[in-house]
A and B are shown apart, each in its own frame.
Chain A
Amino acid sequence: MADRDHKELSGAAGVNRRGLLKCMAWAGTGVLWTVSGGVPRSLGLLGEAAAAETQAGGLTFLQISDSHVGFDKPANPNALGTFQEAIAKINAIPTQPAFIVHTGDISHLSKDKEFDDADQAMKALKQPVHVIPGEHDVADADNGKLYLDRYGKGTQGKGWYTFDAGGVHFLALINVFNFEPGFKSAGLAKLGDEQLEWMEKDLKGRSASTPIVVLAHLPLWTIYEPWGWGTEDAPRALGYLKRFGSVTVLNGHIHQIQQKVEGNVSFHTARSTAFPQPAPGSAPAPGPMKVPAEELHSVLGVRTVNYVHGKSPLAVIDTPLGA
């Protein structure tokens, strides 16, 4: 389906960008739900379509996630290596994205050496990298001190921040500091009152036509409660976002692509550059999923996001490392 659409589009000079973006967004959504067992080949073709499209202008940025530098178990004996590979692939994109976002779990065990290795790898990138922590980045005995010392400069509260690019307002949120331990609840992530109040203030004076991109490590919608794949107080955050015409939420954590659209808000989780995790509820626990070595690259990946001013929605294209 997507393959055919792509060919039709690339052959039709009269198709405007809105049409193409719409189609790509549809195609991306369409192939999405078939992705759990493997990677549809058409994603690679979409990637090519996106690359061609970005040359025509607009803001393109790229999301990487869950690099887990330091991980060396059978599911991927060299997570630093696959992270470096992802970075090399980014550097090979003909039209470079404006910047990179890393949606957390930079390291595997919050160790200095892991952060050092990850930083060293990211130095090869030509553009700025905006990072947020995953729970693996704040698992030191000091509750995230190592992460904040390294990446927290110039941020608010416990590391959250905003930035603007190409007319888009970005909110980099952190939902790995206020976990609700699962004694009486599901053990979901939390943004916490302090951050939510800051977020409400930040959004207050903004025009509803400002496109918003929200970054957070754990999904801001509950994907699978028994594994803690959700954020307990996300509804409050989404309440502040409701009046905006275009809201895109980019998450990591679950090492697989899931997407959902609710009103003006679209939610996306990204692949990991390190190892895949099982589909919700398909395994006894959400640990690293071992796949045959020759298949690993097909379940790891990076994501480019293209925003053309005045046109929505944002086009989100996932590309496997093996493509």
Chain B
Amino acid sequence: MSHWTITARLAAFGLGMSLVAAMPNALPAGEAAVTANSAAVRIDNFSFTPSTLVVAPGTTVTWTNADDSPHSVREKDGKFKSAALDTDDSFSQTFTAPGEYDYFCSIHPYMTAKIVVKPAGSSS
């Protein structure tokens, strides 16, 4: 496993940062040790950030709508779904089973993103 993969995943655990944004050198010392069981996705400007969030099994992900339009969170096969979230509303979902969960906003279906659930240390 490359250094890049480890760092990026840890950043995603601790900060809910985008994989793309998590440059290896940008990770502050100390945060790598965070064992996160919660993570956040921000909905703003008609997009989910991060667009791909990698979490360990057991993590609770909370989506918060920071937009002035309502949005929703719906897994493509209906495995989880929220009602419409108004500005500042949140929705949480705990992920136990490893896998990839594609989701979209049912109000603006072109808004798509993904949660990847995999055990810490796995390299897949």
Contacts and interface: CB of A to CB of B under 8 A. Distances in A.
Interface string B76-89: 10000111101100
Interface residues of A, number: 28
Contacts of B70: 108-109, 136, 139
Interface string A283-311: 01111100000000000000000000000
Contacts of A228: 108-110
Given A135-B107, A135-B108, 19 more contacts: A108-B86, A136-B70, A139-B70, A140-B84, A141-B81, A141-B82, A141-B83, A179-B109, A181-B104, A182-B109, A182-B110, A188-B109, A226-B110, A228-B108, A285-B46, A286-B46, A287-B45, A287-B67, A288-B69
A110 interface: yes
Contacts of A187: 104, 108-112
B interface residue count range (under 10 / 10 to 19 / 20 to 34 / 35 or more):
20 to 34
Contact of A186 (B72, B87, B110): B110
Interface in B24-58: 45-47
A144 to B, nearest CB: 10
Interface string A197-236: 0000000000000000000000000000011100000000
Contacts of B107: 135-136, 139
B84 A109 contact: yes
30 contacts: A73-B68, A73-B87, A74-B68, A109-B84, A109-B86, A110-B83, A135-B108, A139-B70, A139-B106, A141-B82, A179-B109, A181-B76, A181-B102, A181-B109, A182-B104, A182-B111, A183-B102, A187-B104, A187-B109, A187-B112, A188-B109, A188-B110, A227-B108, A228-B108, A228-B110, A285-B45, A285-B47, A285-B69, A287-B67, A287-B69
Main secondary structure of the interface of B (DSSP, over half): loop
Given A73-B68, A139-B70, A287-B69, A110 B84 contact: yes
A185 to B, nearest CB: 9
Contacts of B46: 284-287
7 A-B pairs with the lowest CB-CB distances in the bound complex, closest first: A187-B110, A139-B84, A285-B46, A182-B110, A181-B104, A179-B109, A187-B109
